[in-house]
């Protein structure tokens, strides 16, 4: 599903350049649930941004579902993001003047899906995350866990190839974190490919595979026995 | 582009900070309001002044005799002289491109009343004229007829009087035609009355003049073939200003006046005056547009500023939307539409208030009666359409910079701002 070869990325900071990713080789099969771990500054967020086409790469190649991702202009990148990727952010990033359903329907709107179909799909995904009754609520009327579930529903709505979650539990307490992870695991059970960036070992252990980054290189890449989050809920 | 969702979003964004939106809109509305009011005021002035010219053959000059200031061909300076009737044909032959040459005479003002009808008397101006004079003056025949060439040829003692004289000398419903007036001791029969085309009159002398066939006048009042002055109108498409020199030289020659004698013949070029007024209207319109558009620009800059702030506030939202796959053009379109929508709505409000003000001024003018040199201030539909066009263009301009700056922010940077 994802294939990265010899990925390099550096940031220019005045006259110095900061070499963040120093040759990453990494691939993900369909249906995997991968945790990307590392301390801050290890390059995990940069890796996720490149995977999410929010940032370009300096060197190496990136193939997503057989499509080489290169020479992206913004329009093309937006189009690929919409088609291939779903994002879940640490700070939820819901649009605060739109209600839950409208937020979920947003990626579909960019796919030019009709209004009625959009609403039906949005409701379906809200139901999947258990928030159907909250469809008409604004983000400000939802708890943190609920917001993240809406965000996950939104990420799923466009039926992406890969779900990218950047510290999805970072702003949540542990109980809520486990609820969210439970949801992510269930979505994974349905066959969706998911990448989770986290620095919390217990969250990482709820994935099927852990990739450890340190100083811009992968130091460890192992399959783990998945801990079901539902055990804690 | 006209999807319901897009409009919903525009309304949501603009109504999320109502006070700010209204304050911004006020700037644009005010600009358009000023533009409309200025143009309407200019139009009102133009209408008022134009009315004074209404019906007058503007392509006209007047020419009269003074005393000579240079001796010529044995004749002394300080000599008084008159145009002769023969000069009319001479001018017509020597100067092509003239439509009407009206030789005119006038009775010298008397001490007391010069017109008597039964027991009623009055003091009026009395002119000797050819029938063409009615094409040069802003008159129309209200009753009966104007005199014609038969009257001229047979020197009939007929007159056409102003409607004001009818009011002075006749009973309200009395028949005027066929009655006799005694003018400076000579009896004339009234064959018609005239009125002025302009309605803002009511002045002392308006519609209070008497017209007598030229030949009758000359005979009755012993003018021989003398001509008091001439009113000369150029043919349509020509300019009397360009012909005046040739006309004056022609009469100078026939009246034995030194060609360089500047003061022997006086003239007044109505056309030049009229053109000066015309160019004044042009200048007024230009100033109105100039000032109005400048005021409008400051409003537009306000919109542009607010849009920049809105973009700044929504940086993160725009980042999210781009991460979700909205393409940059769509975002740009959204911002441009917000900007155009805001300018058009506020501009419409400005236009409506401008129109209401004009309406108010007009009804005020109706109540207090006509004002000198100001009539019916208005703006044409064309001007309103131009204003709308300016609004759309300015909305685009106002949104352009903010829209570009919005998509210049990379989504990753937009998302980073916590």
CA distance B32 to B291: 11
Closest CA to B375 of B2, B45, B24: B45
Is B273:B128 a contact under the CB 8 Å cutoff? no
Share of chain A above pLDDT 70, in %: 100
Q: Report chain A residues whose CB lies below 8 A from the CB of B322.
A: 74, 78, 81
Distance separating alpha carbons of residues A72 and B322, to the nearest angstrom:
14
Task: Render pLDDT for B338-365 as a digit per residue (tens, 0 to 9).
Answer: 888 888 888 889 989 998 999 998 888 8
State whether A82 and B328 contact (CB < 8 Å): no
How far is residue B354's CA from residue B384's CA, in Å, rounded to a whole number? 10
A20 Cβ neighbours under 8 A, 6+ residues apart: A9, A10, A11, A43, A46, A216
Q: How far is CA B247 from CA B87, B96, B251, B263, in A?
A: 10, 10, 7, 15
Whose structure tokens read 């020509």? B238
Instruction: Give the whole-angstrom CA distance, residue A208 versus residue A228.
Output: 10
Question: In angstroms, how far is the first alpha carbon of chain A from the final one?
Answer: 31
Contact assignment for B5 to A115 by CB distance below 8 Å: yes
The runs of H, that is alpha helices, within chain A are 44-51, 74-84, 100-110, 115-128, 144-157, 174-189, 201-204
Distance from CA of A88 to the nearest CA of B (A): 10
**What is d(CA B59, CA A180) in angstroms, rounded to the nearest whole number?**
90
Chain A positions with Cβ closer than 8 Å to B: 49, 52, 54-55, 74-75, 78-83, 85, 87, 89, 91, 93-95, 97, 106-107, 109-111, 115, 154, 158
**Along the 418 residues of chain B, how does pLDDT read in single tens digits?**
457 778 888 888 888 788 888 888 888 888 889 888 888 888 888 888 877 777 778 889 999 999 999 999 889 988 999 999 999 999 999 999 999 999 999 998 888 889 999 888 999 999 999 999 988 888 889 899 999 999 999 999 999 999 889 988 998 888 999 999 999 989 999 999 998 876 555 556 678 899 999 999 999 999 989 999 999 999 988 899 999 999 999 999 999 999 998 889 999 998 998 888 889 888 988 998 888 888 888 888 888 888 888 888 888 888 888 888 888 888 888 889 888 888 888 888 998 999 899 999 888 888 887 777 777 888 888 888 888 888 888 888 888 888 888 888 777 777 765 5
- Pick A2-231's CATH classification: 3.30.390.50, 3.40.640.10, 1.20.1560.10, 3.40.50.300: 3.40.50.300
Domain ranges of chain A: 2-231
Span B254-308, pLDDT tens digits: 999 999 988 899 999 989 988 888 898 889 889 988 888 888 888 888 888 888 8
Q: What is the pTM of this model?
A: 0.70
Q: Check pLDDT > 70 for residue A175.
A: yes
**Which of B323, B404, B407 would best serve as a mutation to test chain A binding (most A beta carbons within 10 A)?**
B323
Domain regions of chain B by residue span: 4-54+278-416, 67-104+223-263, 108-220
How far is the C-alpha of B282 from the C-alpha of B315, rounded, in Å?
Answer: 48
Residue B418 CB burial class (10 angstroms; 0-12, 13-18, ≥19): exposed
């Amino acid at each position: 599903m994802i294939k990265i070869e010899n990925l390099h990325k550096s940031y220019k900071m005045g006259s110095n350049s900061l070499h963040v990713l120093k040759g990453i080789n990494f691939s993900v099969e369909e249906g995997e649930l991968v945790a990307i771990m590392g301390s801050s500054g290890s390059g995990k967020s940069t890796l996720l941004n490149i995977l999410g086409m929010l940032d370009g790469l300096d060197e190496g190649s990136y193939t997503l579902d057989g499509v080489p991702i290169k020479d992206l202009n913004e329009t093309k990148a937006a189009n690929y993001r919409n088609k291939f990727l779903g994002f879940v952010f640490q700070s939820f990033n819901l649009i605060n003047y739109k209600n839950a359903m409208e937020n979920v329907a947003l990626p579909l709107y960019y796919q030019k899906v009709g209004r009625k179909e959009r609403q039906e799909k949005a409701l379906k995904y809200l139901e999947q995350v258990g928030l159907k009754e909250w469809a008409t609520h604004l983000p400000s009327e939802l708890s943190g866990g609920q917001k993240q579930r809406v965000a996950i529903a939104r990420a799923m709505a466009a039926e992406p190839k890969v779900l990218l979650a950047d510290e999805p539990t970072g702003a949540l307490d542990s109980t809520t974190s486990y609820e969210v992870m439970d949801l992510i695991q269930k979505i994974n059970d349905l066959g969706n490919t998911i990448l989770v960036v986290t620095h919390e070992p217990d969250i990482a252990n709820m994935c099927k595979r852990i990739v450890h980054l340190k100083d811009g290189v992968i130091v460890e890449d192992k399959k783990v026995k998945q801990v079901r989050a539902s055990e804690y809920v | 582009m006209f999807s319901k969702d897009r409009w919903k979003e525009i309304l949501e964004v603009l109504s999320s900070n109502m006070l700010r939106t209204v304050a911004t809109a006020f700037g644009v509305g005010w600009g358009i309001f000023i533009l409309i009011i200025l143009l309407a005021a200019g139009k009102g002035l133009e209408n008022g002044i134009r009315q004074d010219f209404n019906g007058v053959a503007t392509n006209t000059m007047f020419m009269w005799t003074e005393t000579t200031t240079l001796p010529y061909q044995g004749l002394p300076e300080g000599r008084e002289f008159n145009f002769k009737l023969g000069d009319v044909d001479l001018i017509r032959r020597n100067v092509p491109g003239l439509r009407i040459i009206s030789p005119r005479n006038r009775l010298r003002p008397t001490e007391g009343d010069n017109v008597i009808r039964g027991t009623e008397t009055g003091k009026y101006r009395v002119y000797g004229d050819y029938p063409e004079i009615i094409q040069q003056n802003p008159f129309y025949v209200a009753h009966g007829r104007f005199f014609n060439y038969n009257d001229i040829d047979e020197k009939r003692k007929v007159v056409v009087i102003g409607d004001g004289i009818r009011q002075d000398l006749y009973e309200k419903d009395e028949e005027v035609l066929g009655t006799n007036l005694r003018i400076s001791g000579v009896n004339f029969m009234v064959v018609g009355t005239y009125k002025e085309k302009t309605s803002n009159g009511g002045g002392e002398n308006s519609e209070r003049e008497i017209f007598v066939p030229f030949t009758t006048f000359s005979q009755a009042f012993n003018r021989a073939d003398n001509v008091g002055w001439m009113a000369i109108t150029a043919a349509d498409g020509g300019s009397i200003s360009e012909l005046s020199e040739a006309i004056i030289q022609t009469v100078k020659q026939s009246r034995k006046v030194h060609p360089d004698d500047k003061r022997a013949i006086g003239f007044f070029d109505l056309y030049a005056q009229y053109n000066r007024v015309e160019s004044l209207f042009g200048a007024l319109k230009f100033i109105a547009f100039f000032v109005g558009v400048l005021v409008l620009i400051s409003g537009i800059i306000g919109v542009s500023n607010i849009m920049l702030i809105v973009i700044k506030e929504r940086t993160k939202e725009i980042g999210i939307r781009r991460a979700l796959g909205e393409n940059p053009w769509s975002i740009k379109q959204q911002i441009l539409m917000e900007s155009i929508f805001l300018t058009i709505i506020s501009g419409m409000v400005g236009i409506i208030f401008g129109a209401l003000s004009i309406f108010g001024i007009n009804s005020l003018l109706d109540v207090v009666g006509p004002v000198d040199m100001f009539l019916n201030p208005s703006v044409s539909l064309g001007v309103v359409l131009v204003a709308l066009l300016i609004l759309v263009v300015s909305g685009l301009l106002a949104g352009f910079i903010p829209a570009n700056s919005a998509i210049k922010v990379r989504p990753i940077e937009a998302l980073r701002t916590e």
